Amino acid sequence: MVLSVSERTFTQEVLESPIPVLVNFEAPWCGLCRVIHPLLLQFQSQCGDEIKLVGVNADQNFKLSTTYRLKSLPTLLLIENGTIRHRLECFRGREDLRLALEEIKASYSNYPKIYKSSKTVDLECRSA
């Protein structure tokens, strides 16, 4: 199940989330939105606790649609620590989206689990 987010809950659920959030801007009249929904649910189940998936009705949340300058629906934004890391829009179908989601999943599955642990990771640079 995808968590439905509105302008009222967006800051708490997305911008202040301790884990990256994939925001799906959609609308009830959008045919492609309905087509990709099962693919997004599959992505959510594969990512587990590494990435949160939320949905935003673009028609009912016009302020968010304007803030994020939506040009087409569906538009997917991967937001981490309040910053957009990936923007997916104008894809031509399920296969385009599937490839983009695989790329996102691969980049986050290789991350150290800093979201669930209070330990710090030493990332000092070393010269050859």
Q: Which amino acids are annotated catalytic?
A: 30, 33
The residue among 56, 3, 68, 67 whose CA lies nearest residue 30 is: 56
- For 52, the 3-state DSSP assignment is strand
Contact 2, 54 (CB under 8 A): yes
Cα–Cα distance between 36 and 22 in angstroms, integer? 14
